[in-house]
Structure 1
Amino acid sequence: MRVLILDNKEKLSKKVAEIVAKRINDFNPTEDKPFVLGLPTGSTPILVYKELIELNKKGAVSFKNVVTFNMDEYVGLDENHEQSYHYFMYETFFNHIDIKKENINILDGMAKDIKLECARYEEKIKSYGGIHLFLGGVGEDGHIAFNEPGSSLMSRTRDKELTEDTILVNSRFFGGDVTKVPKLALTVGVGTIMDSNEVLIMANGTKKAEAIRRGIEEGINHMWTISMLQMHRNAIIVIDEEAANNLMLKTYKYFKDIEKDNIK
C-alpha cells in the first residue's frame, strides 16, 4: 500500500487528477482497447473532477476511449432527480469532458429487478476484462462505496441498506431532512473493487482521520471496509494533512519519507 500525504485538499485533488490522467495516457487507449475507470460520487471527488475537466480542456488527457463504471446509486431516485448519482455525475463531470455517452455506466436505481440489475453490472465489468483503476472516497466509518460496516470483503455488486450514520451524513444533500434520504442503494461490492488492477482512495479533513488510521495501521476488519486495501496488490491512499491526524508519528514520517518525491 502506498500513502501520499498532501498539504491540503486542493493539492490532494490536483495530485489525484494527475495520477488518473497519467494512467490513461500511459495505457494509450483505443476504441478497441479502452481504459476502464471506476468513479465515485460525494463531496470528496468534486475538486478532482474539476481538475480533470481542466486537463481535458487543455488536451492533456482525453476520455474518448475511456469506459467508466460508477460505484453506486440510490434505489428509487430517477436519473433526473437532482440528488441521484446519475445527475451528479453528468452535472459535475461527464457534461464537461469528451467522453462518449455509451461508455458511461451507472447502476439503475429504478430497475424493476434490482438483483438482475446488479448481476448485469457485474457481467458488464467482466466483459471489459475488469477495471483498470478504481477511484473512490471513504466514509467516516470507513465504508467504501456503500459497503457499510459489516459488509463481506468478498461481496459483489448488490443492493445494500444504508446505516443511520450514512443517512444522517448524506441528509445534507437533501436539505438536512433524513426522511428524504433513500434507505437502500445499489453498490459495487468489496470484491468487485478488489478485482481492479489498481485502487486509489482519497480522503480529506479530520472527520476522515479515524477511518484512515484504521485502514492503514490496524488489521483487516469487515467493520472498516477501507482496511481491505491492505490486501490489494496495487493500492494508493491519497490524503491531506488533516486526514493524517490520527496516524502514529512513525507511520506519518515513514510515508512522508518514502513518498517525498511523489507528492510534488
Structure 2
Amino acid sequence: MNIRVFDSEREAAAACAQRIARAVAERPSLVLGLPTGRTPLNVYRELVGAFQQGRLDLSQVRTFNLDEFLGISADDAGSFRAYMDRHFFQHVNLAPEHIHFLDGTTTDPAAECARYDARIAEVGGLDLVLLGLGTNGHLAFNEPAEGLVSRSHRVRLSRATREANVMLFGDDASRVPLEALTLGMAGILQARRVVLLAFGASKAEAVRAMVHGPVSPRCPASFLQLHPDAEVWLDPAAHAHV
C-alpha cells in the first residue's frame, strides 16, 4: 500500500478531489466507485467546487455506488441514493443514465445483485474506487466474517455499522435498516485503482489491522494489501498506530 499522511482531513479531501479530476481529464469516460458516510463529504464538496469553477466535466463519467440499505426507496431521506443526490449528483453534470445504484426496494436481492455485477462487467469494471474504512475494518458493507463474499450480496449489518449511519435517520439507531446490499470484495479488488480515506482516532486501530495485520476476512480491508495500486490517505490521528 502507498500510505500518505496529510496534515488535516480537509487537505486530504482536496488532494483526493484533484486526483479524481486528473483521472477524469485523462479518461473522460472514467468508471468511478463511490462511497457514502461522513468520510467522503469533503471530497464531494471539493468536486462540486471544481465543477462550478469549470475545472471538471463529468458528462461522460459513469458512477457505481458501493452499497444501499435494503427495504427503503431511493427517495427515502435516509437512503444512500438520497445522500448522493444531496451532496453530489444534484450539483454536477453527471448524466442520469450514467448513475448506477443497487435497488433497495428489490423483492429479489440475489437477482438485483447479479444485475449490478453484470452492469459493472459490461462497462469493463471500475477504473477508480474511492473507499472509506469502517471502525471494524469493513469496506463498503462487507462486514468482518469467517469468509467474505466475492460478488455483490445481501448483508446483515453489524451494530457498529448501523450506529455509524444514525445521522441519516435522525440519530435514531432503531430506524437504521438491519440489512443492506453491497458490492462484493471482488468488485472492489478488481478496480484498477483504489484510494481509501480514513480520518480520526476512531479509525486508527482499523488502519493498523488493515496495513500490518494478516490478510483475513476478520478485517476485510486487509485484502487491500494484495491490490497492485492501492493508496491509503490518512490524517495524523488515523495514522497513530501505523
TM range (shorter): over 0.9
Pairing 1:55–2:50 present: yes
Do 2:142 and 2:148's aligned partners in 1 also have CA atoms closer than 8 Å?
A: no
The structural deviation recorded for 1:199 is: 0.9
- Structure 1 match to 2:162: 167
The structural deviation recorded for 1:25 is: 1.0
What is the identity, as a one-letter code, of the residue corresponding to 2:111?
L
What is the identity, as a one-letter code, of the residue corresponding to 1:5?
V
Pairing 1:21–2:21 present: yes
Instruction: Output the CA distance in 1 between the equivalents of 2:90 and 2:233.
Output: 26
- Structure 2 match to 1:150: 145
Do 1:201 and 1:236's aligned partners in 2 also have CA atoms closer than 8 Å?
A: yes
Instruction: Output the CA distance in 1 between the equivalents of 2:237 and 2:229.
Output: 24
Do 1:139 and 1:211's aligned partners in 2 also have CA atoms closer than 8 Å?
A: yes
Pairing 1:198–2:201 present: no
Do 2:156 and 2:179's aligned partners in 1 also have CA atoms closer than 8 Å?
A: yes
Q: Give the root-mean-square deviation of aligned CA atoms.
A: 1.1
Pairing 1:71–2:66 present: yes
The structural deviation recorded for 1:182 is: 0.2
- Structure 2 match to 1:2: 2
Q: Provide, for residues 210-245 of structure 1, a one-character-per-residue CA deviation record: whole Å limited to 9, x for no partner.
A: 111111112211111111110001101111111101
The structural deviation recorded for 1:153 is: 4.3
How many residues align? The count is: 242
**Shift >3 Å, 4+ stretches:** 151-154
Do 1:151 and 1:225's aligned partners in 2 also have CA atoms closer than 8 Å?
A: no
Pairing 1:228–2:231 present: no
The structural deviation recorded for 1:108 is: 0.3
Bigger Cα Rg:
1
The structural deviation recorded for 1:173 is: 2.8
Moved more, 227-236 or 148-157: 148-157
What is the identity, as a one-letter code, of the residue corresponding to 2:34?
L
Do 2:77 and 2:168's aligned partners in 1 also have CA atoms closer than 8 Å?
A: no
Do 1:153 and 1:191's aligned partners in 2 also have CA atoms closer than 8 Å?
A: no
Instruction: Output the CA distance in 2 between the equivalents of 1:158 and 1:90.
Output: 23
> What residue ranges of structure 2 are gaps of 5+ in the alignment?
none
Do 1:40 and 1:70's aligned partners in 2 also have CA atoms closer than 8 Å?
A: yes
Instruction: Output the CA distance in 2 between the equivalents of 1:169 and 1:50.
Output: 21
Do 1:202 and 1:237's aligned partners in 2 also have CA atoms closer than 8 Å?
A: yes
What is the identity, as a one-letter code, of the residue corresponding to 2:204?
A
Structure 2 length as normaliser, TM-score? 0.97
Structure 1 length as normaliser, TM-score? 0.89
Instruction: Output the CA distance in 2 between the equivalents of 1:209 and 1:16.
Output: 20
Instruction: Output the CA distance in 2 between the equivalents of 1:55 and 1:152.
Output: 41
What is the identity, as a one-letter code, of the residue corresponding to 1:141?
N
- Structure 2 match to 1:258: none
Do the aligned partners of residues 151 and 145 (structure 1) sit closer, same or farther apart at CA in structure 2, a change above 3 Å counting?
Answer: farther
Q: Provide, for residues 156-175 of structure 1, a one-character-per-residue CA deviation record: whole Å limited to 9, x for no partner.
A: 10110001121222223323
Percent identity for Structure 1 against Structure 2: 36
Instruction: Output the CA distance in 1 between the equivalents of 2:100 and 2:127.
Output: 15
Q: Provide, for residues 78-103 of structure 1, a one-character-per-residue CA deviation record: whole Å limited to 9, x for no partner.
A: 11111101100011100000110000
Instruction: Output the CA distance in 2 between the equivalents of 1:213 and 1:132.
Output: 26
What is the identity, as a one-letter code, of the residue corresponding to 1:58?
Q
What is the identity, as a one-letter code, of the residue corresponding to 1:108?
D
Counterpart mapping for 1:107-126 below 5 A: 107-126=102-121
- Structure 2 match to 1:211: 206
What is the identity, as a one-letter code, of the residue corresponding to 2:25?
N
Instruction: Output the CA distance in 2 between the equivalents of 1:65 and 1:82.
Output: 27
Instruction: Output the CA distance in 1 between the equivalents of 2:146 and 2:100.
Output: 23
